[in-house]
Amino acid sequence: MPFFQAQSLIERGSTTIPQTLQFGNLYGAFDLHGQPRAPYPAGQALLSLPLVVVGKFILTHLPGVPRTWEAVFYLQVFGAVLTTAIFAGATMAFFFLTLRRLSVSLRSAVLLTCCVAFGTLLFPYSGYFFSEPFTSSILMAAVFVVCNSTRPLSVRGAVIVGLLLALVVWIRPTMILAAGVFVAGLLLRDGRIAMRRAAMMSAIPAISGLLYLLSNKVVFGSAFNFGYPETEEMLGKHLNSFHTPFYIGLEGFLLSPGKSIFIFMPLLILAIMGIRRLWIRERAVATISLGLPIIYLLFYMRYTQWEGGFCPGPRYLLPFLLITCLAVGPLIDERRFRRSVLMLAMVGFAVQAITYSTSFLEIQAIGHGDYYDSNLNYRMSYDPLVTQTKALIAYSRGKPASLGLGFDRWFIFLHKLGVATYTEILIAAVPIFLLVLSVLKLTRLFKEERLAGIDLRDSAVNLVLT
C-alpha cells in the first residue's frame, strides 16, 4: 500500500490509491469522498518517492529494458525496495557511530556492525518494502544523537531527537510510544536538570501525533479512524483489535519456530548480558535499548495479528531489537565474548540466508496453509526454516519458477523481466562504487587509529622514562 501511495503521488499528486481496485487488492478504507486509501500515513511513501521516480522515468529508459507495462511497473517497485536497502544501510551506519561514541574500538565496532547487519532480520528486510528499515534508521539516528550529545542534552539535540520521533510517527503511528522511553532514558541519565529538554523533546512528536489524528478527522471523519478495514472480508475476523491472550503472543515472540526473537536474532542472547555494562557506560542508551523492546512486546503480544501478517520473523519488534544489539558493544572488546559474537552471528546469518533464499509470500500465502489456520490464526507450529529450506533445495535442483517465485533476488527478478545483463551491471555499478569508497574510508580510519596508538605508546614510554 505505501508503494501505491508513492505511485499515486507521482501520477495524481494524491495519496489515494485507486489502482488497488484495478488489482483487486485494496487493504484500507474509503475516505469521505469515496476514494480508497491505505491505513498508513504517507511517511514511507514520501521517503521512497525519489527512487520510485528514478525507477519510473530513468531506469525504464535505459538500454536493454523491455518496453512492457510489467517492466515499467516493477522497475518502480525496484526503486521503492532500493530505498529500503538504503535505509537499512543507514540504520547500520548510525549503529556503528553509536558504538564509537560508546568507546567501542574501531575494529570491534566494524565487526559488530557487520554481525548485526547480516546476522539479524535486517538483512532480509533490506530486500522487502516493509516499513521496519525506515523506522529502524530513524530511531537509531535518534539514539545516536542522545549518545553523542552533551550532558545534559542540548536544546539543539532535544529538537533533533524530537523531530526524528515526529517523523517516525508518520511512518508508523504506534511509534509515539517510543517518545516516552527516550524521555525516561534522558531523565535517568541527566536527572532533573534535563526536565525542560525532555519536555521539549516529547512535545514535538506529541504535536506530530495530534496532526496525524487531525488528518484522520479530515480524511475519514474521525480522529481515531486510521483507515484499517474492520474485518477480514471472507471470514469477518477482526484484524486490528487486542483480544489475543497475552501468553499466545508472548510464547510466539519468544519460543515459536517461526517468530522467536532468539531464532531470528540470536545476538540478543549476548545483548541481554551486556545491558548492565551498557548502563554503566551510558544510562540513556541502556534505558532505550531495554525499554523499547519491553514496551512494544507488551503492546503487540495482545494484538490480534501479533505475528505481523505475512512476513518473515518477528517483524513488529525488529526496529527495537536492533537498538538492543547495541548492548553487545561493551562486551565485544573482550576475546571470550568476541568468539561468542562471531558464533551467534554465523548462526543468525544462516537463518537469514534461508529466510532470504526464497519468497516468504510463496511459502506463507501460496503454500499449503501452514502459516494460518482456517480462521486466520497463526499456527505456532509453522517452521519457515524447514519449509523454505525444502523450497530452496527444490529450486536448486531445477524446479521452474515464474516471476516473484523461487530464488528471486533483484538481479534474477530483473532478468526474468527481460532486462539485459549489461543493464543490470550498470545498475549494480553505483552501489559497488559506494562500497569501494566505504572500504577505502574504513582502511584510512584503521590506519589513523593505528598511528594514534603508536603515538600514545610513545608518550607512555617517554612518561615512564622521565
Do the Cβ atoms of 82 and 106 come closer than 8 Å?
Answer: no
* Residue-wise pLDDT tens digits, 83-131: 999 999 999 999 999 999 999 999 999 999 999 999 999 999 999 999 9
Q: Does any domain span residue 71?
A: yes
Q: What are phi and psi of 378, to 5 degrees?
A: -65, 135
280 and 381 housed in the same domain? yes
Query: Cα–Cα distance between 300 and 241 in angstroms, integer?
Result: 10
Q: Is the pLDDT of residue 30 over 70?
A: yes
| Number of domains comprising the chain | 2
Contact 287, 294 (CB under 8 A): no
pLDDT attached to residue 98:
97
* Residues 28, 227: Cα–Cα separation, whole Å: 5
What band does 22 get if pLDDT is binned at 50, 70 and 90?
Answer: confident
Residues 391, 427 within the same domain? no
Check if the beta carbon of residue 140 is closer than 8 Å to that of residue 132: no
* Cβ 145 vs Cβ 164: under 8 Å: yes
pLDDT at residue 365 greater than cutoff 90: no
Q: What is the pTM of this model?
A: 0.94
In the predicted model, is pLDDT for residue 293 greater than 70? yes
Mean pLDDT of all residues belonging to the chain? 91
Q: How confident is the model at residue 235 (pLDDT cuts 50, 70, 90)?
A: low
Question: What sign does the dihedral 256-259-265-268 (CA atoms) show?
Answer: negative
Judgement on whether residues 390 and 430 belong to the same structural domain of the protein:
no
Tell me the pLDDT tens digit for each residue of 381-401: 999 999 888 888 888 888 888
pLDDT at position 452 over 90: no
Is 36 within the bounds of a domain?
A: no
In a domain, 44, yes or no: no
295/160 same-domain check: yes
In a domain, 388, yes or no: yes
Range of the domain at 293: 56-400
Same domain, 276 and 388: yes
**Shared-domain flag, residues 165 and 260:** yes
Residues 237, 157, single domain; the answer is yes
pLDDT of residue 408: 76
Residue 234 reports pLDDT greater than 70: no
**The predicted structure's pLDDT at residue 395:** 86
The predicted structure's pLDDT at residue 456: 54
Residues 203 and 323 reside in one and the same domain: yes
Q: Do both 430 and 355 map to the same domain?
A: no
- 224 in any annotated domain: yes
366 and 436 co-located in one domain: no
**Residue 465 is assigned to a structural domain of this protein:** yes
Q: Which of 355, 371, 400 represents a domain boundary (last residue)? A: 400
Rg value, the chain, Cα: 23
Buried b (16+ CB within 10 A) or exposed e, 319-357: bbbbbbbbbbbbbbeeeebbebbeebbeebbebbebbbb
Q: Is residue 435 located within the same domain as residue 465?
A: yes
- Helix and strand tally (H, E) in the chain? 21, 2
Other CB atoms within a 10 A radius of the CB of residue 216 amount to 19
Confidence bin at 74 (pLDDT 50/70/90):
very high
The arithmetic mean of pLDDT across residues 311-328, rounded, is: 96
Higher pLDDT, 185 or 228: 185
157 and 304 part of one domain? yes
Q: Smallest Cα–Cα separation from 86: which of 56, 50, 113?
A: 50
- Length of the chain counted residue by residue: 466
Q: What pLDDT shows up at residue 152?
A: 86
Mean pLDDT (whole number) for 13-23: 91
Any domain includes 278 = yes
Domain presence at residue 458? yes
Instruction: Please determine, for residue 457, whether its predicted confidence score (pLDDT) is greater than 70.
Output: no
